[in-house]
Homo-oligomer: A and B are copies of this chain.
Amino acid sequence: MSSTKAKFEAKFSTLSHNAYGKSGIRLTKVINHGDRQELKELTANIQLEGEFENSYLQGDNSTIIATDSMRNTVYVLAAEHDLSSIESFAQHLCKHFLTKYPHVQDASVNLVEDLWLRIQAKGLAHPHAFVSAGSEKRSTHVTADREGITVHSAIENLVVAKTTESQFWGFIRDEFTTLPETHDRVMATSVEATWTYGENLDKVDFNKNYETIRQLLLEVFATHTSLAVQQTLYAMGEAALHAVSEISEINITMPNQHRIAFNLEPFGKTNKNEIFYPIDEPYGLISGTIKRGS
């Protein structure tokens, strides 16, 4: 066994932080209710912190839970768990790692759910056939140590656009400014919203809250007259915080997916706010965290 470490003077460096785990564990669970079936699909990412230094320092793996074993754990526990919500399953996984392995100090589980809709066949929701709800995801990030557990829930990649009722004016004009003011623009974004649960996790209805917040994000985006992406973001977060008393804060990120008006003047035409081209880059990236309380 070679050791690069031996080449250097003793203790000139230390391992100040370490973590490891398994990412990209993809799970499909079919839940059979007899006359109909449910399809649940998610990707799990697990990270553990604890007494793993000897693996880093000496290649001594005696405290290492193989990442392959973490993968097995997800499938074995999924077989027993009802997967009624990703938040409950993520908590279950965290508790498992902390309970089973005393030398694990922190467990972090992120679950990202692929969403499926039942196919409508002859006007009825089909009992076992599904169509993808697209690239929007529901996710959760649960972190736990022996003191407690924190649950974050999120919507990722909720892509929305409004074709009017968005303005942007009154910003700083200096020698670096060429952007014209506008009182009517297309506003498009891919919303990522993450909310944090407070106490009494056992009583929370995670699925209902997810539905409530998703619908509010859509409605406020649609109906808010926007003077800035920042303002719309705040209004969306405030509405979620107002509606769901169990969450203590919400963080929203809204990349501004610009639609640039195409200049029709060289062609003898006027662009009556009708013809645009989307660009992916560069994009404004706006974020804010809204907290309960004054």
- The answer to whether A121 and B30 touch across the interface, beta carbons within 8 angstroms, is no
Chain B residue at minimum C-beta to C-beta distance from A164: B128
How many residues of A sit at the interface, in one of the four size bands?
35 or more
| Docked complex Cα distance between A170 and B267 (Å) | 21
Residues of B within 8 A of A228 (CB): 55-56, 59, 61, 64
Out of B71, B177, B233, which one reaches A66, CB within 8 Å?
B177
A25 and B282 contacting across the interface, CB-CB below 8 Å: yes
Stretch at the interface among A2-10, A84-92, A144-152, A200-208: A2-10
Q: Are B131 and A76 in contact (CB under 8 A)?
A: no
Q: How far is the CA of A280 from the CA of B170 in the complex (A)?
A: 32
Query: Are B134 and A132 within 8 A (Cβ)?
Result: yes
A161 to B224, CA, bound (A): 37
Contact status A264-B75, CB under 8 Å? yes
Of the residues B13, B41, B120, B251, contact of A292 by C-beta under 8 Å: B13
Set of chain B residues within 8 Å of A256, measured between Cβ atoms: 67
Q: Is A98 an interface residue (CB 8 A)?
A: no
Complex: A164 Cα to B256 Cα, angstroms:
35
Establish whether residues B11 and A294, one from each chain, have CB atoms under 8 Å apart when the complex forms: yes
* A58–B227 CA distance with the chains assembled, in angstroms: 8
Contact B274 A161 (CB under 8 A): no
Asked whether B230 lies within 8 Å of A130 as measured between CB atoms, the reply is no
Give bound CA distance, A287 to B73, whole Å.
Answer: 21
User: Hey, which chain B residues are within 8 Å of A47, CB to CB?
Assistant: 285
Please tell me if the beta carbons of B223 and A121 are within 8 angstroms of each other in the complex. yes
Closest residue on chain B to residue A10 by CB atoms: B294
B235 touches A75 (CB 8 A): no
Residues on B with beta carbons closer than 8 Å to the beta carbon of A266: 72, 178
Known: A61-B168, A161-B39. A284 touches B21 (CB 8 A): yes
Contact of A28 among B60, B69, B277, B289 (CB under 8 A): B277
List the 4 shortest-distance A-B pairs measured between CB atoms, nearest first: A134-B134, A59-B227, A129-B222, A24-B281
29 contacts between A and B (CB under 8 A): A2-B224, A4-B235, A4-B239, A8-B242, A12-B294, A13-B290, A13-B293, A13-B294, A14-B290, A14-B294, A16-B289, A19-B288, A20-B229, A23-B255, A24-B282, A26-B279, A32-B273, A37-B163, A60-B170, A61-B171, A64-B228, A65-B172, A75-B277, A119-B219, A120-B218, A128-B222, A130-B163, A131-B158, A131-B218
Give me 7 other A-B pairs in contact (C-beta within 8 A), A1-B227, A24-B281, A66-B168 excluded: A26-B281, A30-B276, A31-B274, A59-B227, A66-B171, A129-B161, A132-B134
